[in-house]
Amino acid sequence: MKDSMPSPTEAAAISVRGAVKHYGAVRAVDGVDLEIGSGEVFGLIGHNGAGKSTLFKMMLGLVRATAGDIRIHGAPVRGSGFRAVRRAIGYLPENVVLYDNLTGLETLRYFARLKGAPLAHCPAVLERVGLTHAAGRAVREYSKGMRQRLGFAQALLGRPQVLFLDEPTTGLDPEAIRNFYATLRELRADGVTMIVTSHILAELQERVDRLAILSGGRVQALGSVQGLREQMALPLRMELATTEAGAAAVRAALDTLPVSGHRWQGALFDGQFPREAKMAVLAALAGLGSAIQDFRIHEPSLEDVFFGFGH
């Protein structure tokens, strides 16, 4: 897990400096700086209209920046040298456009031709997203999740080194989501750099190396999930169950600890304490021995972090 900017020796796959995109009075992206290292899985989160898709399109060279410098593998995205780099990029847009009359395989072959990727790879890519069984069926007959997987397949054509995935798990069932992230892990092991947006924060929190929270077109927070938790000094939550005989001793001990927002429900305790008190709390609990039947400590979720930043 990396928490800081990549070091100068570690080539940044994506470098964004002072990126600005204004649509008239709308500041869709309003001064973004990001360095994303090679092989990093980077999450981009933010509420609707925060600027995620616009920033994506700017990084892909699809939207002209009002100001700023964006490079992929060192090449400015709207510069003449970007054509060659573009071949190494895969993009799954938020709403992938598919032709209903083409079959899954025909669709991939169509995208492969557009991208200059070998047609011979299409069946293997379909296999990778679990669509081999539907290769010969018209896209019109595909379910929402199958369409999304076909969209992911076209992003994988040509073995991209950088993948932009805009809400890639929309419409996927739990098994397909799991398979999708397993594929990302394989790609990561091959050194592929990935940027993923999602509104499903629980899904991202264990799966990204770092992430940025975007708000009003600006990066509001940047770091690993753990780094952001610590940066925000969010409390840890503890749930605890006492034995009947031990209840009084546990209550007395907890009274001496910096726990807050707590409540008792019979023998069950639920409360919060500051991270820096963790070892003191654990030591106090260990001292209570068999008076405690069970306990759990929860780290704040990415959702807690997100809302902690005032969203």
* Closest CB to ligand ATP among residues 157, 195: 195
> CA-to-CA distance for 47 and 120, rounded, in angstroms?
40
CB of 57 vs ligand ATP, minimal distance in Å? 8
Contact 309, 221 (CB under 8 A): yes
52-63 as b/e, with b when 16 or more CB fall inside 10 Å?
Answer: bbbbbbbbbbeb
* Closest CB to ligand ATP among residues 15, 54: 54
64 φ/ψ angles, rounded to the nearest 5 degrees = -75, 130
> CA-to-CA distance for 186 and 196, rounded, in angstroms?
15
CB of 307 vs ligand ATP, minimal distance in Å? 16
CB of 214 vs ligand ATP, minimal distance in Å? 7
* Closest CB to ligand ATP among residues 49, 261: 49
> CA-to-CA distance for 55 and 212, rounded, in angstroms?
12
Q: What are 35's two structure tokens?
A: 């360095």
Q: Specify which residues 260 forms β-bridges with.
A: 272
* Closest CB to ligand ATP among residues 28, 259: 28
Q: Which of 192, 156, 222, 164 is nearest to 37 (CA)?
A: 192
178 φ/ψ angles, rounded to the nearest 5 degrees = -65, -45
CB of 38 vs ligand ATP, minimal distance in Å? 25
* Closest CB to ligand ATP among residues 52, 86: 52
CB of 301 vs ligand ATP, minimal distance in Å? 19
Q: Residue 12 class from Cβ within 10 Å (0-12 exposed, 13-18 middle, 19+ buried)?
A: buried
CB of 53 vs ligand ATP, minimal distance in Å? 3
Query: Can you give the binding site for ligand ATP, defined by CB under 6 A?
Result: 23, 26, 28, 46, 48-54, 94
* Closest CB to ligand ATP among residues 30, 288: 30
